[in-house]
Structure 1
Amino acid sequence: MEAAGRPERIDHRSYERQGIDKIPSIHLGVAASQMERKGIATEKGNINRQIAADNKLLKEIKARITRLYKWTKEQAGKPEGKDSIMAQLYEAQLSEGKPGSRYGKIKDLKESAALFNFLNGNHITSMEQLYEKVAAMNKDYYSLRGKIVTAERRIKVLDEHLSMWEKYERNKGTRRQFDKMKPGKKKEQFEQKHGAELALYEAAVRYLEKLKANGEEITPKKWQADADRLKAEKSVQYQKMKAMREDIKAVENLKKTAEQLARTETEPARKKEEQEL
């Protein structure tokens, strides 16, 4: 990019080192990449597709909460009174269905049972209280996102540990058989035939030896238990994240209704100006 005169730069550091709260995809490897290109789904490919969906959810909720946070903060700074948004909303609710009501044409209000359930359920009667609720939702989002991303990163490490342990266990018999053979043509033929298994075993040994050198114990059962626990916890956290969508939708409907109410206030004045012209 630099050679092309463009300002962007590729950062080869991990998301964690860059300080980005995003779930990293896993490396497919040659075999899985070839299968995926042929349209054959693989376990690693499925994991990456789930990670992409998870990142999309995190990004979507972040964008929606950020918009609502800015709007409620702006509205909370305005003076409250009989003409405030919240006062108009409750007046509109009481006037709904009455002949001649100026709120009768507001579509969202007719479908706003969830909106008022949200307000009443959270004891919200002012924009300041709504802002505090959205601020709390925003805080909860970042807390959940941090837990999800941290768990996913650890799961990725544990899955790699387990994958290497599985390669070690699966191929150690082949290596022992090879080591017992006397030098000669048969051993050479065996090595040619089982070269892939021997290479996987050697890679696994190097990986596990590096772990031990870094002070980590080789505990496959614990790795599996930790991975299962983290995956279960992450699933619960995602359900909480998805549940936030309902509250977000309620506040979005409130914002939309408030904008419609504002238009009902300005419409008569606009028509009067047009008539005078």
Structure 2
Amino acid sequence: MAIYHCTINIFSRGAESQLSAVGSAAYRSGEKITNEYDGITHDYTRKKGIVHTEILLPPHAPPEFADRSTLWNSVEKIEKAKNSQLAREIEAALPRELDREQQIRLVREYVQDNFVSAGMCADIAIHDKNNGNPHAHIMLTMRPLEQSGEWGAKSKKEYILDKNGQRIKLKSGNYKVRKIDLMDWNDKGKAEVWRRAWADVTNKYLAEQNIPQRIDHRSYERQGIEQIPTVHMGVAATQMERKGIVTEKGEKNRQIREQNRLLKEVKRRIAGLEKWVKEKSAEKDSQSINPFHSVPIHSPQPPTLLELLNTAMQQAGQPDSRYGKIRDLKTFAKAVSFLQVNNISTLSELQETLSKMKKRYWNTNSEIKQTEKLLHERKELIDQAENYLQYRDYHKAYKQTKPKKQEDYAERYRTELALYDRAERYLKEHLGSDTKLRPKAWKAEVADLTAQKDRLYREMRKLKDEVAEAETVKRCVEQAIPPTEQRKERSKAHDMSL
């Protein structure tokens, strides 16, 4: 099944990624490239699972940039600052429903239309280890190219003026300035544009192959889908599940899917009851089509729901009863009990009860979604804190390793260093200036949120049972109306529609 996965990252010199632009390109392409900036040779010629690589260039780019080593060494050379942004990478999951050639054309079209046409150089690598996770790495240059083929400026400085239009002088003697990007590639809105474009072009290729699946870059909430999102499995957990090995993430997703079925079912059944009440109310208001008038109760007014069901139950056992034999008197008794407990006599009162049920559904559903969101955030915080503590020593050892041996160390402990980097970034983003780790307090919050979630799902299951009781009223009313009268209803309704 096609899935949506599209992430965007920046490679910066001096960042915790452990790889330069040259090293990143070598790793993704499976090549041996020497970084002329620091003299380190990156050899990934033994790396497996690389099924396609190519470089796409804008028309005014130097032809020699078609060579991977030349392109990225040129980037390393032009970037002088110790914290320079070297490259942007987009990683995207490829639909397994497409064959290899279709996957390549998909990536090529996406890159050409969104990046190369805007003036970026693009380095593409498609990885597939035949483990069900084909994906593309797209490395992009971040500095514009002049028409002459030379690298241009990323930004310019602009003086900040006071209210009188004068430059503001600082204590250092310099004037206060701000940086103005010359290209819009770093605009926050661009990430949304590129992520949406990936979904659009992927869906186009799926449609061309008559494949019904579609992907969407938006969250369930933005799509208006009322369900809890499953957690990202990852390659390792997915492979284990395929072998029949139960994983924590797999079990979590099975639980989420079951809970989503519950939410969807309750919503559907309430809607079905409301539709039925609306139809019956319309029939009741019509003098020519009113099944309630056909019930033999000596009253100028049509019977209440209770009267209708009680009369049907009383007369069902009599000889030659027009109702025949009611199949399940216990069900009728349940329906009568539901009407009595909820003080329901009329269809409008039944509709009021259904409206209250629907309100309870949406309130509980909203609380469930909020609780699930908080629970996921706290669990992720705990996981990242544990990774941070577990792999911190690997990071320290890397920093203490001599520069010429750092690449070997980074390759040997790539997974551990990557997990540490991700944990550090996550914690900085979510904790801000409060860097203190509080796993004990977070676990207590998880316990409270889990208890709250369980309570909410119990309420939803209770609501489901109440909806089932309301459905017995529908079934019994349909059974209480004599079959001949129901046929007359349908016939008259048909005649009126002609």
Alpha carbons of structure 1 residues 154 and 21: separation in structure 2 relative to 1, 3 Å: farther
From 48, 72, 93, the counterpart of 2:277 = 72
- Aligned counterpart, 1:202: 421
Structure having the larger proportion of residues in helix: 1
Residue 381 of structure 2 aligns with an amino acid whose one-letter code is H
Cα 1:34–1:193 change in 2 (3 A) is: same
Q: Which residue of 1 aligns with 2:204?
A: 2
Structure ID, larger Rg: 2
| TM-score calculated relative to the size of structure 1 | 0.82
Check 1:75–1:187 CA distance in 2 against 1; reply closer, same or farther (3 A cut).
same
More relative contact order, 1 or 2 (CA 8 Å, 6+ apart): 1
Matched, 1:117 2:337: yes
> What are the superposed Cα offsets for residues 194-227 of structure 1, whole Å, 9 maximum, x if unpaired?
4422321122112212224498975433432332
TM-score (norm 2): 0.48
Q: Deviations over 1:58-107 (max 9, x none)?
A: 11111111000121233345357335554321222344544554445121
CA shift digits 1:168-195 (9 cap, x unpaired): 122223434555x553999877655544
Q: Deviation at 1:9?
A: 6.2
Q: Distance in 2 between matches of 1:61 and 1:50?
A: 17
Cα distance in 2 for residues equivalent to 1:265 and 1:139: 37
Evaluate the alpha carbon distance shift between residue 223 and residue 17 of structure 1 in structure 2; reply closer, same or farther with a 3 A threshold. Answer: farther
Aligned with 1:107: secondary structure? coil
Residue 266, structure 1, aligned to residue 485, structure 2 = yes
Other-structure match for 1:173: 393
Q: Does 1:157 align with 2:377?
A: yes
Distance in 2 between residues matched to 1:190 and 1:268, nearest whole Å:
82
- Quick one: which of 352, 363, 371 aligns to 1:132? 352
Matched, 1:55 2:260: yes
Q: Are 1:108 and 1:253, in contact at CA under 8 Å, matched by a contact in 2?
A: no
8 Å CA contact 1:96–1:110 kept in 2: the answer is no
Gaps in structure 2 of 5+ consecutive residues = 1-202, 286-291, 293-300, 490-498
State whether residues 109 and 257 of structure 1, in contact with CA within 8 Å, keep that contact through their aligned partners in structure 2.
Answer: no
1:36 matched to which residue of 2? 241
Say if 1:175 and 1:201, in contact at 8 Å, map to a contact too.
Answer: yes
- Give the aligned partner of residue 463 of structure 2: 244
Instruction: Count matched residues.
Output: 269
The answer on 1:16 being equivalent to 2:236 is no
Deviation of 1:55 (Å): 0.8
Q: Higher strand fraction: Structure 1 or Structure 2?
A: 2
Gaps of 5+ in 1: 271-277
User: C-alpha root-mean-square deviation of aligned residues, in Å?
Assistant: 3.2
Instruction: Tell me how far apart the structure 2 counterparts of residues 10 and 188 of structure 1 sit (CA, whole Å).
Output: 38
